[in-house]
Amino acid sequence: MANLDKIMKPKSIAVVGASTKDHTIGSDIMKRLQEYNFNGKIYPINPKGGIIEGLQAYTSVLEVPGEIDLAIIVVNAKFVLDTIDQCHQKGITGLCVITAGFKETGAEGAELEKQLLSKVKEYGMRCVGPNCLGVVNTNPEIRMDGCFAESLPERGHIGFVSQSGALGGGILNILKDLNLGFAQFISIGNQADVNAETAIEYWENESDVEQILLYMESIQNPSNFRKLASRVTKKKPILALKAGRSAAGASAASSHTGSLAGADKAAAALLKQSGVIREFSLKNLFSTAKVFANCPIPKGDRVAIITNSGGPGIMATDAVCEYGMQMAKITDATKEKLRSFLPSAASVKNPIDMIASAPIEHYQQTLETVIADENVDMIMVIYLPFLGLKDIDVAKAVMEIKAKYPQKPVIGVFMTKSEFFSKLSDMNVNMPFFMYAEEAADGMNRLNQQRLWMSQPEGKIPCYDVDKSKVESIIRKSLSEGRDQLTTLESIDVLQAYGIRACKYGLATNEEEVATLGNSIGYPVVMKMTSKTTSHKTDVGGVRINIQSESQLRAEYRDLIAKLTEKGLIDGLEGVIIQEMVKGSREMVCGIATDPQYGPMMMFGLGGVFVEALKDVTFRIAPLTDLDAKDMIKSVKAYKLLQGARGTTPAQMDQIEETLLRLSQLVSDFKFIDELDINPLLISEKTGEGIAVDGRIKVRLAEAKSALNMDCASCCA
């Protein structure tokens, strides 16, 4: 990763396409580099030579007498490849291609970008862009503003990656108003080479970057992103705004920077499994960033609230509790000390209400007293304007105490005029301030989320003893018959081969076999048709339940055969499956769906007829860790049903987790499985086991044939 230093920590920069013409990118970049006092050498490159912004211009990088670390390229797209050749000749290994006209424009541009990347790799370079805003490093030793945003960047400790140049530029322009600053900024544009993952890895051990912010429209390599982000989020927070949530938004993302947006539920699963905090608006992204910029990670989730008004204190308490955090139990010693200076009308319980007449001194003394309480992990300070008390004076007083005791997060809620927040933007603040208590509670929740993630052990991907060869033979048989859909019987056989608990079952092809099986399994039983041509059994009356005797079973079988014959569906019939009938009112669903970009996703949730209606399901990207499986089960609303609501037998959570992990292993072993449904996964009233009552598996035919060496070429060979 050291060669990214040539881009982010250059000692010399060539601006290829530097211009004397005002309000051009070549002119603006030259001005920004000089106005921000870049600590290295700047070489303007222009075919006409001359003087640009008071500096000697050269007609080519090859004419420059000194070494060059970074070339910022702003020439027409048709000249970019030749420029890269010249940069290679000069020994330049860092490129930032601001020029547009590549894959975002269509097929011709995509081909040009392909050639660009080929040269970058061949020459051992690193390249930001093309079609980007530029790069920034605010470190006093570097001071590089290599982009064409209107405002100069504010100093801070955030590493920010933006896939949208214009959005990145807009944010650079309002950093002062946000009371935030960047350490480094990378506008990745079309991300031909350097992408979000590159930046995450580069900033992992960069002490100047204390948190990482991402604006993304696509994730190029989900598995690599997961590996890197899972590691880095254990050291520092990563906040992401992933655009393209709606179908229309995904389409817009595709045309905007030539990216392909995957399904949002897959992106959400990936970010969650990677420990990345996902925000859904720029407002929330920067509100959370403000919290992490000014607060340490707390030791726990116990919150104390200090207020000068009862109502906002109660609303703040509600917000804290709704996030699942605790209201801190203030110690008796703390209460006694508070009583020593607060008026008798004040409440020293949590929330601590100092009442409306509270002077600045009470804010200071109360905060100093509460921050020392060992039962308190985070503090919210609420101010409402009363009795001529000035908001900015209270803020300064509170920040003085915070400076003395930096070990705990303190967040201010100042329900006052907007001018207050404008004044803060001109100050060096050491704590975040918000207008409303709900915003502060949200920030505390994000701090707690990061605390929990960092303290969580690393998940493990177990490997179970399974019958892989049996599954392969089942799939081969289906492929040899040209079927991408396994029959019900084949699907259940696959599940059992991977140790997934299914109903006791057997296949019968005539009435006598049906009766024998029913008698051996024991009544009541279920009868299901299994067909190579009909996958939705219930639609044609192919499922008969609660069969209580041999005579009823024979009658149901004869009726099924008659109806299939009548409908012309008898030819595809393999036979019928006779299954034990498991009693249970709790129906779950689990399975696998494949996203074209993110790969196989595991699903778990409320099943049966409620799957489509209530959509109480959750997704994770395979392969699952043991912690992923636990989290999936706990994250659905139906979890309370599994715990044993209203006197039902609690579900065997470990066994259900193992079912999900075995499915994950199945799709890892057979990557061409496209869809798999166990619906329902019935929770037994008797044992609490999750039992697969029905199964459906579909594969990607061509991919499966290739993976199992059954394609045409191998057949001919």
Q: What residues form DSSP beta bridges with 158?
A: 182, 211
Cα–Cα distances in angstroms (integers) from residue 182 to residues 12, 136, 176, 224, 699, in the given order? 21, 8, 11, 25, 47
Pairwise CA distance, residues 449 & 277, whole Å: 8
Q: What is the pLDDT of residues 62-74, one digit of tens each?
A: 999 999 999 999 9
What is the per-residue pLDDT for 713? Answer: 41
Provide the pLDDT for residue 535: 64
- The mean pLDDT value for 615-629 works out to 94
For 469-475, which contacts have Cβ atoms below 8 Å and span 24 or more sequence positions? 470/497, 471/497, 471/498, 471/666, 471/669, 471/670, 472/670, 472/708, 475/670, 475/699, 475/704, 475/708
pLDDT score for 73: 98
Q: Phi and psi for 700 in degrees, rounded to 5?
A: -90, 110
- In this prediction, residue 263 has a pLDDT band, given cuts at 50, 70 and 90, of low
Which comes out higher in pLDDT, residue 693 or 396?
396
User: What are the φ/ψ torsions at residue 477 (nearest 5 degrees)?
Assistant: -60, -45
**Does residue 213 have a pLDDT over 80?**
yes
Non-local CB neighbours of 535 within 8 Å, separated by 6+ positions: 485, 696
Report d(CA 466, CA 626) in Å as an integer: 18
Confidence check: pLDDT of 260 > 60? no
Could you say which DSSP state residue 160 is in? E
Give the Cα separation of 700 and 484 in Å (integer): 6
Alpha-carbon gap, residue 313 to 304, rounded angstroms? 10
Q: Following DSSP, what letter does each residue of 589-649 receive, concatenated? A: EEEEEEETTTEEEEEEEE-TTHHHHH--EEEEESSPPHHHHHHHHHTSTTHHHHHHGGGPP
pLDDT, tens digit, 9 for 90 and up, residues 587-597: 999 999 888 88
Q: What is the mean pLDDT of the chain?
A: 92
Residue with more model confidence, 97 or 3: 97
| C-alpha–C-alpha distance, residues 20 and 22, integer Å | 6
Q: Please give the pLDDT value at position 474.
A: 97
Q: How many Å apart are CA 409 and CA 299, to the nearest integer? A: 10
| Over residues 626-653, mean pLDDT | 92
Contacts of 493 (CB under 8 A, 6+ apart): 470, 474
* Residue 152 per-residue DSSP state: P
- Residue 100: helix, strand or coil by DSSP? coil
DSSP, collapsed to helix, strand or coil, labels residue 281 as: coil
Contact present, 487 and 530 (Cβ < 8 Å)? yes
Nearest to 321 by CA among 447, 415, 445: 445
In this prediction, what percent of the chain has a pLDDT beyond 90?
82
Report helix angle 437-455 to 282-294, nearest 10.
Answer: 70
Report whether 391 contacts 383 (CB < 8 A).
Answer: yes
End-to-end CA distance of the chain: 45
Structure tokens at 390: 């000035």
Domains 2-292 and 468-580 alike in fold: no
Q: Which of 243-262 are b and which e, b meaning 16 or more Cβ less than 10 Å from the residue's Cβ?
A: bbbeeeebeebbebbbbebb
Given phi > 0 = left and psi -120 to 50 = alpha, else beta, which region is 191? left
Topology of domain 2-292, CATH? Rossmann fold (3.40.50)
Tokens of 574: 């393999």
Local confidence band at 298 (pLDDT 50, 70, 90 cut-offs): very high
Classified by CATH at the fold level, domain 468-580 comes out as Dna Ligase; domain 1 (3.30.1490)
Spatial CA neighbour of 199 closest among 1, 453, 6: 1
- Residue at token pair 């089960």: 633
- Say whether pLDDT at 717 is over 60: no
| Banded model confidence at residue 711, pLDDT cuts 50, 70, 90 | low
Comparing 259 with 26, the larger pLDDT belongs to 26
**Burial (0-12, 13-18, 19+ Cβ within 10 Å), 86:** middle
Can you tell me the mean pLDDT for 432-459? 97
Radius of gyration of the chain (CA): 32
Interval 325-343 mean pLDDT: 98
* pLDDT above 90: residue 364: yes
Alpha carbon distance 119, 130 (integer Å): 13
Residue 538 has pLDDT above 90, yes or no: no
pLDDT for residue 536 is more than 70: no
The Cα angle at residue 449 between residues 443 and 454, in degrees rounded to 5: 130
CB 122 within 8 A of CB 33: no
Q: What is the model's pLDDT at position 166?
A: 86
Q: Is the pLDDT of residue 614 over 90?
A: no
The set of residues, in sequence order, having a beta carbon less than 8 Å from that of 245 and lying 6+ positions away, is: 264, 280
CB 696 within 8 A of CB 535: yes
- pLDDT value at residue 613: 74
Name the H helices within 182-328.
196-203, 222-232, 247-256, 264-273, 282-294, 310-322
**Token representation of residue 199:** 């930046």
CATH code that applies to domain 295-455: 3.40.50.261
Residue 237 has pLDDT above 90, yes or no: yes
Domain positions in the chain: 2-292, 295-455, 468-580, 586-705
For 95-104, 438-447, 469-478, 679-688, which range has the lowest pLDDT when averaged over its residues? 679-688
Neighbours of 35 (CB within 10 A): 11
Residue of 648 and 75 predicted with greater confidence: 75
Question: 586-705: which CATH number, 3.40.50.410, 3.40.50.450, 3.90.1200.10, 3.30.470.20?
Answer: 3.30.470.20
Report the helix count and the strand count for the chain, using DSSP H and E.
26, 30
- Total-model pTM: 0.90
Confidence check: pLDDT of 318 > 70: yes
Residue 549 vs residues 219, 505, 598, 661: alpha-carbon distances, Å: 56, 16, 48, 37
Average pLDDT over residues 40-44: 98
* Residue 307: per-residue pLDDT: 98
Check residues 60 and 243 and name the one with the higher pLDDT: 60
What is the SS3 assignment for 51? strand
Tokens found for residue 233: 């989020």
Yes or no: say if 306 and 371 are a contact pair by the CB < 8 Å rule: no
Cβ proximity of 451 and 298 under 8 Å: yes
The encoded tokens of residue 105 equal 């424009």
Exposure b/e, 521-532, CB count within 10 A at least 16 = b: beebbbbbbbbb
Quick one: what percent of the chain has pLDDT higher than 70? 95
